[in-house]
Amino acid sequence: MAQIVQRPAATPTTHCTPDQYDALYQQSLDDPDGFWLEQAKRLDWFDQPTKGAEWSFAPPDIKWFSDGTLNLCHNAVDRHLGTHGDTTALIFEPDSPDAPGRSLTYSELYGEVVRVANALKAMGAGKGDRVTLYMPMVLEGVFAMLACARIGAIHSVVFGGFSPESLAGRIEACDSKFIITADEGLRGSKRVPLKANIDAALDQLDAPVTGVLVFKHTGADITMTEGRDHWFTDLASDDDCPCEVVNAEDPLFILYTSGSTGKPKGVVHTTGGYGLWAATTFHYTFDYQPGEVFWCSADIGWVTGHTYVTYGPLINAGTSLVFEGVPNYPDHGRFWDVIDKHQVNIFYTAPTAIRALMREGDEYVTSRDLSSLRLLGTVGEPINPEAWRWYHNVVGKGASPIVDTWWQTETGGHMITTLPYAHDMKPGSAGKPFFGIRPQLVDNDGNELSGAAEGNLCITDSWPGQARTVYGDHDRFHEAYFSTYPGKYFTGDGCRRDEDGYYWITGRVDDVINVSGHRMGTAEVESALVLHPKVSEAAVVGFPHDIKGQGIYCYVTLNAGEEQSDELQAELRQWVRKEIGPIATPDMLHFTEGLPKTRSGKIMRRILRKIAENDYGSLGDTSTLADPSLVDSLIEGRQNT
Ligand code: WT7
């Protein structure tokens, strides 16, 4: 029986009490259009929508608020100028505690965003154009996102840790003609050569990138290509730059994410539905109160950064902290210093960071003043109860509720989450569905499982923040999310529902692994490995990792005549790093003479997963293998890896 941790008592300003949750949730299911058209008043519209949802999942065709027009930059910035012009919009905390930080008001944010928007226009960017952002975690990244929204351009943010190869693929896939970057990024005192990576990416592309806008950050010496590359300061202007009027269904952004097959998918989110989802989930899940400092530690290169660094907080006229650095530089107390220094009230981070910091001992936490904290959140992977308790007791002093928020790049924002003053907490459970969300558990044949049960997690009805398509490939959208269980959105996650209706995510059930809260397709790592001239075949699976949640385990067979060696092992690690980026670096690399295959040649990943997990007792039926004797040599190889 899971231990229950009681929620704190509601206060007069609490956004959602237990009774309100029950009533609102019921209403959101009974009358979705009525509910969401009412919630839509959180946004400013040029044309208030009268239509709610128009959708089908078979095949997917999804629209929300299709007769509404708006602009999300107007919602995040301009509309606050009269009432919150002097409110702090953003706080910047640099990589090094000795470097200067910055904080700016909504009025100042307006000026910055207009300057970037004008620079984009000067390069020729406009409504509907794709703009690739490859930025450090600095305020200019947020300005750039908002500037795109302002002119109706579609941003595609690529995480600064991705390699030139990955970057090139993402620029090409959405045919992006404009790029926004900086000379370099900083992470834990290490320099990330962003502009040089852009140059390397563009060198491999025939793609007609016509404008690269460059922010000066570290002042590094970089190469500027005449006619194509522009310093931001050369193009910026304070000219009037009105917000473009866009339809609710016009795309706001594309974000590439890994799936179980092929190249990363460009998930498309639209302006109205996504904007409302960001606004509503931020308001309720974090119970955000005016004046509070909210800090989401995610990079804007991930969806968490999109929704809860940029859009959610700013649409709600909140104060959002942007942190450039890492949790362990200059020491393991850096997160807690930032909370202390900026009097952070709400802190949102990933279990992997919590586990890594927990391992360093309580002293780093207890030596800082964290009394400003009111609420804590986690996201990205299941949190083990031990880490949950440490977060709750040591960081939160037992007083701050924890919201465990389950969602995905495709969902736009929170889907299943504890609401801080409405639900008691169960460490390790993401809690209950958000308004409008109908989760369903199904068995492998797609039969619905009722009551307390464990199965594959689907969502049966559309919600405003749902992704609408995969950029340029609607069939792939259909295939990836709506074909496994026809008529339902399949999340790719396994999940248990307990007797109280709480949901416990058990992890991915497809060939996607979750490394430090980042999604990695095993197929992508395999493709990178087999590109190496000495590699014949590769199979990649996840295995339990103390800090990362899951690590990357690679089985590799070499071409005839190639020698297995420690040097080659190191070289292959480096190779994957270079092909995809540091986040894909293999944790384990296991040379084997062969891969376990059925007689028809299909790799039996189930066996590879078990061996990687060091779990040999339950290998199941191996008699269908073409060469059953391979299993013993794989087990032996596992012990030597
Ligand atoms: C996958 C989505 C959503 C932002 C970060 C990751 C896993 C996410 C939780 C949670 C258990 C979680 C799921 C999901 N996941 N949040 N609170 N508890 N698992 O976004 O890269 O799109 O990955 O992350 O497996 O499918 P993403």
Q: What pLDDT, in 10s, does the model give residues 120-176?
A: 999 999 999 999 999 999 999 999 999 999 999 999 999 999 999 999 999 999 999
CA-proximal residue: ligand 1, atom 13 (nearest): 381
To the question of whether residue 439 is assigned a binding role by annotation, the answer is: no
Question: Best mutation site among 253, 379, 490 for ligand 1, i.e. most ligand atoms within 8 A of its Cβ?
Answer: 379
- Alpha carbon of 622 to ligand 1 centroid (Å): 32
476 and 601 part of one domain: no
- Alpha carbon of 95 to ligand 1 centroid (Å): 26
Task: Identify the H or E element spanning 536.
Answer: strand 535-545
To the question of whether residue 408 is assigned a binding role by annotation, the answer is: yes
Identify whether the C-beta of residue 540 lies closer than 8 Å to the C-beta of residue 588: no
Residue 445 lies in a domain: no
CATH at residue 579 = 3.30.300.30
Checking if the pLDDT of 382 tops 80, the result is yes
Checking if the pLDDT of 356 tops 90, the result is yes
233 and 187 part of one domain: yes
- Alpha carbon of 117 to ligand 1 centroid (Å): 32
To the question of whether residue 7 is assigned a binding role by annotation, the answer is: no
Residue 536's identity, in one-letter code, is S
Query: Which atom, in ligand 1's list, is nearest to the CA of 508?
Result: 25
- Tally of residues, the chain: 641
CA-proximal residue: ligand 1, atom 1 (nearest): 408
CA-proximal residue: ligand 1, atom 6 (nearest): 380
Query: What confidence score (pLDDT) does residue 408 get?
Result: 98
- Dist CA 167 CA 181 (whole Å): 12
471 and 563 part of one domain: no
Task: Identify the H or E element spanning 144.
Answer: helix 139-151
525 and 472 part of one domain: no
Question: Best mutation site among 307, 383, 505, 583 for ligand 1, i.e. most ligand atoms within 8 A of its Cβ?
Answer: 505
Residue 162 lies in a domain: yes
Identify whether the C-beta of residue 324 lies closer than 8 Å to the C-beta of residue 136: yes
520 and 481 part of one domain: no
To the question of whether residue 566 is assigned a binding role by annotation, the answer is: no
Identify whether the C-beta of residue 523 lies closer than 8 Å to the C-beta of residue 548: no
Residue of 21, 149, 5, 20 lying closest to 437 (CA atoms): 21
Angle between helices 194-203 and 164-173 (to 10 degrees): 60
To the question of whether residue 450 is assigned a binding role by annotation, the answer is: no
Confidence of residue 43 (pLDDT cuts 50, 70, 90): very high
Identify whether the C-beta of residue 261 lies closer than 8 Å to the C-beta of residue 286: no
471 and 581 part of one domain: no
38 and 93 part of one domain: yes
477 and 614 part of one domain: no
Mean pLDDT across 365-379: 98
- Alpha carbon of 376 to ligand 1 centroid (Å): 17
| Mean pLDDT computed over every residue of the chain | 96
476 and 594 part of one domain: no
Mean pLDDT across 584-594: 96
- Print burial letters for 207-237: b (CB count within 10 Å at least 16), e (below 16): bebebbbbbebbeeebeeeeeebbebeebbe
Identify whether the C-beta of residue 565 lies closer than 8 Å to the C-beta of residue 608: no
Q: Which two tokens stand for residue 640?
A: 């030597």
DSSP result, 100-139: --EEEEHHHHHHHHHHHHHHHHHTT--TT-EEEEE--SSH
- Alpha carbon of 353 to ligand 1 centroid (Å): 15
Identify whether the C-beta of residue 373 lies closer than 8 Å to the C-beta of residue 401: no
Mean pLDDT across 363-368: 97
Residue 1 lies in a domain: no
Residue 576 CB partners (closer than 8 Å, separation 6+): 525, 528, 529, 554, 584, 585, 586
ipTM of the complex, rounded to two decimals: 0.99
- Dist CA 195 CA 223 (whole Å): 8
- Alpha carbon of 406 to ligand 1 centroid (Å): 6
- The number of angstroms, rounded, from the C-alpha of 18 to the middle of its chain's C-alpha atoms is 29
Residue 493 lies in a domain: no
Q: How is residue 212 annotated by DSSP?
A: E
Domain hosting residue 189, numbered range? 18-372+384-393+461-485
Checking if the pLDDT of 11 tops 80, the result is yes
CA-proximal residue: ligand 1, atom 3 (nearest): 408
Q: In what order do the strands lie in the sheet with 503-508?
A: 448-449, 439-442, 453-459, 489-497, 503-508
pLDDT digits (tens, 9 = 90+) for 608-622: 999 999 998 878 778
To the question of whether residue 155 is assigned a binding role by annotation, the answer is: no
Residue 48 lies in a domain: yes
CA angle 357–103–322, rounded 5-degree value:
35
Residue 241 lies in a domain: yes
- Dist CA 469 CA 61 (whole Å): 9
Residue 131 lies in a domain: yes
Residue of 480, 429, 427 lying closest to 454 (CA atoms): 429
Checking if the pLDDT of 1 tops 70, the result is no
To the question of whether residue 13 is assigned a binding role by annotation, the answer is: no
| Strand 512-515 versus strand 293-296 pairing type | unpaired
Q: Which two tokens stand for residue 134?
A: 């490859």
- Dist CA 501 CA 506 (whole Å): 15
| Helical residues (DSSP H) of 458-543, grouped into ranges | 474-482, 522-530
* Positive or negative torsion for Cα 574, 578, 579, 582: positive
To the question of whether residue 190 is assigned a binding role by annotation, the answer is: yes
162 and 311 part of one domain: yes
- Alpha carbon of 470 to ligand 1 centroid (Å): 19
Instruction: Give the percent of the chain with pLDDT over 70.
Output: 100
Confidence of residue 2 (pLDDT cuts 50, 70, 90): low
Q: Where are the beta strands (DSSP E) in 369-502?
A: 375-379, 402-406, 416-417, 432-433, 439-442, 448-449, 453-459, 469-470, 489-497
To the question of whether residue 491 is assigned a binding role by annotation, the answer is: no
Residue 389: C-alpha distances to residues 371, 394, 402 (Å): 18, 8, 10
Q: Which two tokens stand for residue 356?
A: 């890594």
120 and 252 part of one domain: yes
- Dist CA 116 CA 101 (whole Å): 20
Identify whether the C-beta of residue 568 lies closer than 8 Å to the C-beta of residue 535: no
| Strand 448-449 versus strand 432-433 pairing type | unpaired
Pocket of ligand 1 (CB under 6 A): 257, 303-304, 379-382, 404-409, 430, 491-493, 505, 508, 514, 517, 519
Q: How is residue 386 annotated by DSSP?
A: H
- Alpha carbon of 255 to ligand 1 centroid (Å): 15
479 and 598 part of one domain: no
Query: What confidence score (pLDDT) does residue 619 get?
Result: 82
Residue 13 lies in a domain: no
- Dist CA 512 CA 535 (whole Å): 22
DSSP result, 215-230: E-SS-------TTTEE
CATH at residue 293 = 3.40.50.12780
Mean pLDDT across 224-238: 98
Name the domain count of the chain. 2
Query: What confidence score (pLDDT) does residue 624 get?
Result: 82
CA-proximal residue: ligand 1, atom 18 (nearest): 382
CA-proximal residue: ligand 1, atom 24 (nearest): 380
Question: Best mutation site among 159, 162, 408, 409 for ligand 1, i.e. most ligand atoms within 8 A of its Cβ?
Answer: 408
Query: What confidence score (pLDDT) does residue 231 get?
Result: 98
Query: Which atom, in ligand 1's list, is nearest to the CA of 410?
Result: 22
pLDDT digits (tens, 9 = 90+) for 559-582: 999 999 999 999 999 999 999 999
Other C-beta atoms closer than 10 Å to the C-beta of 329 total 16
- Dist CA 413 CA 407 (whole Å): 6
- Alpha carbon of 304 to ligand 1 centroid (Å): 10
To the question of whether residue 380 is assigned a binding role by annotation, the answer is: yes
Residue 83: C-alpha distances to residues 153, 226, 278 (Å): 27, 44, 21
Checking if the pLDDT of 513 tops 90, the result is yes
Phi-psi region of 492 (alpha: psi -120 to 50; beta: other; left: phi over 0): left
- Alpha carbon of 447 to ligand 1 centroid (Å): 24
Checking if the pLDDT of 334 tops 70, the result is yes
Mean pLDDT across 426-454: 98
